[in-house]
Amino acid sequence: MTETDERPGPFAGVRILDFTRFQQGPYATRLLADLGATVLKIERPGGDWDRRLRLAPDGFCGFFYGLNRGKHSVAVDITTEQGRQIILRLAAECDVVIENFRPGVMDRLRIGYEDLRAVNERLIFAAGTGYGPHGPSSGEPMFDMVAQAVSGVSDFNRAPDGTPRLATRGYADAAGGVFLALGVASALYARAVHGIGQRVDASLVGACLGLHAPEITLSLHEQKLLRPHRRVTSTSGAFRCRDDRWLVIAATDQKLWSTLCAALDRPDLAADERYGYGAIRERNRDDLEPEIETTFATRDRDEWLPILRRHGVPVGPVNTFLDLAEDPDALANGYILEQDDPRWGKQKIVGHPFHLSETPARVGEWTPELGEDTRDRLLEAGYTEVEIADLIERQIVEATDAGGR
């Protein structure tokens, strides 16, 4: 998509009231913002803690910038009656409300599903939780690492010494955000077809289970834990090359075994009866893997990559996040983009993860300063300049001098 492409995204015209914090919820609403929705991010005066999380030495908050681009910041103290009234007026004109507070918080503030539905019966109310809406632990607090533990992901990724490990930082949060956005998209479609609003619930634990459906199903069937302590197979996994750089191959079937042997110029392995087919290769993997490792150690990684590709072996370099800035496929697909930020200058950012040919996603060109849209959104909701000035004076809301978007 070019910078001049003015085609609307699929959710153009959809207004979202966003109460989310940390990663699960903000990632969901950022995806929906990229897809054209107008997202009003509700923050407390003074700003959400997310704006100060994992700051770089120069003060840049990649955590906040990576999750909140393209949104509009409205700073409101929702714990006050005046703040609650503001939310009711905004919700009356919105299509979706999304929150990921601890279960019950929105209800205690009297801006929960039933409260907001009373002012907007077609409203979609989406809640991102830890465990899910039901069960004995449904009201417990939850963070990414706890979700990975509860869902079995940390056990599945145990270190060789038996220590449970995270799959990666933010794994459950990111997956939870995707499923939360999918739930909202499904509810918007249902409303368009059936004319009804509804409540959506998505959880961190549920997302982790969903992403591991094949492994969990197999384990439950066999009543056996099948943890990947080694490479996936003797011929599928990461191998170190002569220059101490790594690549990953996936030679999973018999045809690929033959092409791998040809690429490695190891006809002796192809002819060895111990490695004749998959099951016997795995029984003899303690002999086979050192042979493959030794062969890869004879060339640099960038020598091996074209050889393996020429032979049709699925292969890729083990990139760092820094390598992605120069990766031709990541750049060609818009997965990594460069943007001009008014405060931080040119920044490399993550683009949108999929493409739509006729209603393309548009990566937001800004990350909002705290309260920069408060004044404009309150004016739209029917507040006068005098009323807004009074709300600012009493610290019910916070507004910057920046114009809204």
Average pLDDT, the chain: 93
Residue 2: the pLDDT is 43
DSSP state of 101: S
The Cα 237–Cα 315 span in angstroms is: 10
At residue 185, φ and ψ (nearest 5 deg) are -60, -40
**Taking a C-beta distance cutoff of 8 angstroms, is the pair 266, 295 a contact?**
yes
Mean pLDDT (whole number) for 96-116: 96
Give the active site residue among 34, 50, 173, 373: 173
- Cα–Cα distance between 206 and 200 in angstroms, integer? 13
Query: Would you state the pLDDT for residue 19?
Result: 97
The per-residue pLDDT for 232 is 85
60 vs 112: which has the higher pLDDT: 112
Are 249 and 239 in contact, with CB atoms under 8 Å apart? yes
Q: How many CB atoms lie within 10 A of CB 162?
A: 8
CA 231 → CA 227, 237, 251, 267, distances in Å? Answer: 11, 5, 12, 23
Q: How far apart are CA 71 and CA 34, in angstroms?
A: 9
- Structure confidence at residue 172 (pLDDT): 95
Dist. CA 215–CA 162, nearest whole Å: 19
Triad 389, 392, 398: Cα angle to 5°:
130
Rounded Cα gap, residues 153 and 145, in angstroms:
10
User: Is 173 assigned a catalytic role?
Assistant: yes
Contacts 24+ apart (CB under 8 A), 198-202: 198/124, 198/125, 199/113, 199/124, 199/125, 199/126, 199/127, 200/124, 200/125, 200/126, 200/127, 201/126, 201/127, 201/129, 201/132, 201/133, 202/126, 202/127, 202/128, 202/129, 202/176
Select from 26, 20, 127 the least CA-distant residue to 69.
26
Structure tokens at 114: 């039933």
- Does pLDDT of 147 surpass 80? yes
C-beta separation of 236 from 251 below 8 A: yes
* Residue 239 in this model has a pLDDT that exceeds 90: yes
Summarised one tens digit per residue, pLDDT across range 62-74 is 899 999 999 999 9
Give mean pLDDT, residues 138-148: 92
- pLDDT category at 402 given cuts 50, 70, 90 is low
Provide the terminal-to-terminal Cα distance of the chain, rounded to the nearest Å.
21
Tell me the mean pLDDT in the region 308-330: 95
The model's pLDDT over 369-400, given as tens digits with 9 standing for 90+, comes to 999 999 999 999 999 999 999 999 999 999 98
Write out the E strands in 233-385.
236-240, 246-250, 315-317, 336-341, 345-350
**Could you tell me which residues come within 8 angstroms of residue 30 by beta carbon, excluding any fewer than 6 positions away?**
39, 67, 68, 69, 70, 71, 364
Which has the closest alpha carbon to 232: 299, 163, 281?
Answer: 281
Q: At 58, which amino acid appears?
A: D
Six token digits for residue 314:
């699925």
pLDDT at 314: 96
pLDDT at position 281 over 60 = yes
pLDDT band at 241 (very low <50, low <70, confident <90, very high): very high
**For residue 228, is pLDDT > 90?**
no
pLDDT above 90: residue 366: no
Residue 51 to residue 208: CA distance in whole angstroms: 26
Looking at per-residue pLDDT, the higher value among 17 and 346 belongs to: 17
Count of alpha carbons within 13 angstroms of residue 331, beta-carbon side? 10
Q: Which of 133, 145, 136, 131 is nearest to 106 (CA)?
A: 133
pLDDT at 364: 79
The counts of H helices and E strands in the chain are 18, 12
- Predicted confidence band at 4 (pLDDT cuts at 50, 70, 90)? low
Nearest-angstrom CA–CA distance, 399 and 388? 9
- Of 110-119, 137-146, 179-188, 293-302, minimum mean pLDDT range: 137-146
| pLDDT for residue 279 is more than 60 | yes
Model confidence at 1, pLDDT cuts 50, 70, 90, reads very low
Per-residue pLDDT band for 362 (boundaries 50, 70, 90) equals: confident
> What does the pLDDT read at residue 5?
67
